Amino acid sequence: MTADSWTEAAIPDLSGRTAIVTGANSGIGYEATDMLVANGAHVVMAVRNQERGEAAAEDIRGGLPGSFTVRTLDLASLDSIGSFSQEIQTEYDQLDFLFNNAGVMAIPRSETEDGFETQFGVNHLGHFALSAQLLDLLIAGDQESRIITQSSGMHERGVIDFDDLHHEQSYDRWDAYGQSKLANVLFAYELQRRLERTELESVRSVVTHPGYADTKLQQRGPEQDGSTLRLWLMKLANTLFAQSARAGAWPMLYGAIAPSIEGGEYVGPTGLLNMRGNPGVQESSDRSSDEEVAERLWEVSESETGVEFQIE
Ligand SMILES: NC(=O)c1ccc[n+]([C@@H]2O[C@H](COP(=O)([O-])OP(=O)(O)OC[C@H]3O[C@@H](n4cnc5c(N)ncnc54)[C@H](OP(=O)(O)O)[C@@H]3O)[C@@H](O)[C@H]2O)c1
């Protein structure tokens, strides 16, 4: 099926395939989980709050033939990422898909347990550390596996500020979000280059964005600020302009499953302003293709998280 017409109806039987979805209790992660389970996959729903995860799991409409389990993963804690990865290493022999999807957007400045600015810490560093610790399970399967990292069109606004990565000197919530989402693209491309150099062709790294999807993402900043007016405006904008969370999850599924997708590709909706519609391959920003910045970011990410990829 071509990109112009791809919908979830094109998802093949995924029986016997195992996926981890971060942020699986809400929005795009929830819808991706539902589609994977409906098509026979086994999904580890990785959620930061077990209760919220269990509540979301009750609504999984897919039901049989797939299955799922809910596990705690707080991407704002390197300890939690380590424990989660250990648990998965013990219970699973291999993985087929890792969806690095969870995220926060434009929240007031805060820090993770390890002292990282939260948007950079959760959206990029947390997923970096998680991917490193699960890579051997992704390599282990008989079939090709994929790491799908969720970015945003907002990566185009991003600049990696190596002098103030955690925005300690000055903080603009949208600049911080843009930096974290640019880091997602740089990471996904650099991972693909390293996999290729190591001739690990059974794993592909793909980066996606959902366009503009109606989820809770847009509410989190105003909620934390206690701004009822901004909360109301965000909800109104979602109602008027956003596509459904379900359609927002299509690029991740397309990026994970379509045989035509190569490692190192950027996938998003191809409709109006790349904000909605059927998924396809797109161009990311020039800054996201800067290999020097990507290498430097990789080194900084290893040293900040204390986690190394066992490739190269
Ligand atoms: N919606 C859009 O228009 C849009 C556009 C561009 C990119 N994106 C990207 O799409 C991804 C999914 O967002 P969404 O739109 O589905 O928003 P959402 O409904 O707010 O879902 C975000 C998910 O991330 C989880 N999360 C937040 N902090 C976490 C942490 N410390 N550890 C583990 N999980 C954490 C949330 O858990 P809780 O529910 O427990 O808070 C939730 O499950 C994000 O990466 C976002 O940047 C979305």
What is the tens place of the pLDDT at every residue in 290-303?
A: 999 999 999 999 99
Residue 66 maps to a domain: yes
Choice between 191 and 141, residue whose per-residue pLDDT is larger: 191
As a whole number, the mean pLDDT across the chain is 95
Q: Which pair of structure tokens corresponds to residue 253? A: 């599924």
Residue 6 maps to a domain: no
Percent of the chain with pLDDT over 70: 97
Residue 4 maps to a domain: no
Of 195, 190, 159, whose CA–CA distance to 289 is shortest?
A: 190
Above 70 in pLDDT, residue 4? no
> How far, in Å, from the CA of 215 to the mean position of ligand 1?
8
Q: Specify whether the CB–CB gap between 185 and 298 falls below 8 A.
A: no
| pLDDT score for 221 | 87
Total tally of structural domains belonging to the chain: 1
Query: Domain residues for 58?
Result: 14-304
Least confident of 57-66, 99-108, 272-281: 57-66
Question: From atom 1 of ligand 1, which residue's Cα is the shortest distance away?
Answer: 213
Residue 8 maps to a domain: no
> How far, in Å, from the CA of 166 to the mean position of ligand 1?
20
Residue 31 maps to a domain: yes
Distance CA 118, CA 289 (A): 24
Please provide residue 81's backbone torsions phi and psi, each rounded to the nearest 5 degrees. Answer: -65, -40
pLDDT category at 1 given cuts 50, 70, 90 is very low
Q: Specify whether the CB–CB gap between 21 and 99 falls below 8 A.
A: yes
- Which tens digits make up the pLDDT trace of 238-267? 999 999 999 999 999 999 999 999 999 999
CATH of the domain at 108: 3.40.50.720
Residue 309 maps to a domain: no
Above 50 in pLDDT, residue 52? yes
Residue 2 maps to a domain: no
Above 70 in pLDDT, residue 218? yes
Above 90 in pLDDT, residue 2? no
Q: Which residues line ligand 1 (CB under 6 A)?
A: 22-23, 25-29, 48-49, 52, 73-76, 101-105, 122-123, 150, 152, 209-210, 212-213, 215-217, 220, 248
CA angle (42, 13, 212) in 5-degree steps: 75
| Whole-number CA gyration radius for the chain | 18
* Rounded average pLDDT over 113-142: 97
| pLDDT score for 5 | 87
> How far, in Å, from the CA of 120 to the mean position of ligand 1?
13
Ligand 1 atom with the shortest distance to the CA of 25: 43
Residue 311 maps to a domain: no
How far is CA 280 from its chain centroid? Answer: 17
Would you list the DSSP string of 63-114?
-TT-EEEEEE--TT-HHHHHHHHHHHHHH-S--SEEEE-----SPPP-B-TT
Is 189 an annotated catalytic residue? no
